[in-house]
């Protein structure tokens, strides 16, 4: 019963946490902001991060033709002072790039490639300084099967894409790989949906295992406790039934029986037929006759 209650409370807590996260996400808090880690490979820089709506890390490679790329860094769109940016469309986050062109005022070609990109992935940045317009920077996409999707864009030192807007031999640009919000929404929904069930499954397995451990401990305690043998129930003794042995009865001869009967008859009837004067004499005569008959075995 306790395990069942714990399981129900765990499910309720997990659902409340999921709902809490969804509510904060709906109100605009960027709870899935990517945290990239940059490493240099030759003249290229590689960013490894977990994008929004995904649970496994991806790699984005940065390369510049016609210039030198310094170590990129991630940046929040609020720091970029860009209005009307929906960060949900930028699953990989935003990047600040510092590029030194080969010649001041010259052009460089910025290349980004990743297996995470698709043919619909675009690169957005600052395109109009007066109105703070944030839009596509003009790209070319090359998608080859079994190879990372490559996106390239030409950037001129001092152009509108350059943050300082001056051809001073330094190009600073803030960009963000952009994908449709629906892809992000569907990916996030799938991850959270299966994530909740995964967490609940792990908790359920943990509770089942812990239940078995507790049962085993309780069983060991019971086995270790000495138990007295159960007292035997008193045996009810059945009363002995003795069968009386038949008493042998000696058969009385017919003449003796007749004499006894005659004596009894004379005694009870008062000897009226014998006309004896005294009742005592009658009784004595009857008894005597009976004894006489018994001794003589009725020969007379």
pLDDT tens figures, 201-218: 888 888 888 888 888 888
CA distance linking residue 172 with residue 67, whole number of Å: 12
Q: List the pLDDT tens digit at each of the 300 positions of the chain.
A: 555 555 566 665 656 555 545 444 444 556 778 999 999 999 999 999 999 878 899 999 999 999 999 999 998 876 556 667 788 888 899 999 999 999 999 999 999 999 999 888 999 998 887 777 888 999 999 988 888 999 999 999 999 899 888 899 999 999 999 987 676 567 667 767 777 778 888 888 888 888 888 888 888 877 777 666 666 566 666 666 666 666 666 666 676 677 677 767 766 665 555 554 555 555 666 666 666 666 665 454
Eight-class DSSP state of 88: G
Q: Taking the alpha carbons of 79, 80, 86, 92 in that order, is the dihedral positive or negative? A: negative
Q: Side by side, which strands form the sheet with 37-41?
A: 37-41, 44-49, 58-65, 107-114, 149-156, 140-142
State how far the Cα of 62 lies from the Cα of 162, in Å rounded to an integer: 17
For residues 283-296, b (16+ Cβ closer than 10 Å) or e, as one string? bebbeebbeebbee
In this structure, what token pair is assigned to residue 295? 């001794």
199: which 2 tokens?
Answer: 């967490």
* Residue recorded with tokens 């401990």: 217
């Amino acid at each position: 019963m306790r395990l069942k209650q714990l399981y129900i409370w765990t499910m309720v807590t997990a659902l409340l946490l999921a709902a809490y996260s969804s509510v904060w996400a709906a109100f605009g808090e960027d709870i899935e902001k990517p945290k990239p880690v940059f490493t240099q490979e030759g003249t290229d820089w590689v960013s490894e991060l977990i994008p929004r709506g995904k649970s496994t890390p991806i790699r984005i490679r940065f390369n510049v033709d016609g210039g030198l790329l310094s170590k990129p860094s991630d940046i929040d769109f609020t720091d970029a002072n860009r209005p009307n940016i929906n960060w949900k469309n930028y699953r990989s986050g935003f990047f600040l790039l510092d590029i030194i062109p080969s010649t001041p005022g010259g052009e460089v070609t910025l290349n980004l490639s990743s297996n995470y990109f698709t043919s619909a992935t675009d690169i957005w940045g600052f395109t109009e300084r007066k109105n703070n317009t944030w839009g596509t920077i003009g790209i070319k996409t090359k998608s080859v099967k079994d190879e990372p999707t490559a996106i390239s864009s030409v950037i001129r030192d001092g152009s509108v894409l350059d943050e300082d807007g001056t051809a001073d031999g330094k190009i600073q640009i803030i960009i963000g790989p952009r994908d449709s919000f629906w892809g992000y929404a569907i990916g996030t929904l799938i991850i959270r949906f299966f994530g909740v069930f995964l967490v609940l499954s792990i908790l359920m397995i943990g509770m089942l295992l812990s239940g078995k451990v507790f049962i085993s401990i309780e069983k060991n305690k019971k086995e270790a406790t000495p138990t007295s043998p159960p007292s035997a129930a008193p045996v009810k003794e059945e009363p002995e039934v003795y069968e009386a042995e038949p008493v042998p009865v000696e058969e009385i001869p017919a003449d003796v029986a007749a004499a006894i009967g005659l004596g009894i008859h004379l005694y009870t009837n008062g000897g009226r037929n014998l006309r004896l004067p005294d009742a005592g004499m009658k009784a004595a005569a009857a008894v005597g006759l009976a004894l006489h008959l018994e001794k003589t075995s009725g020969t007379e």
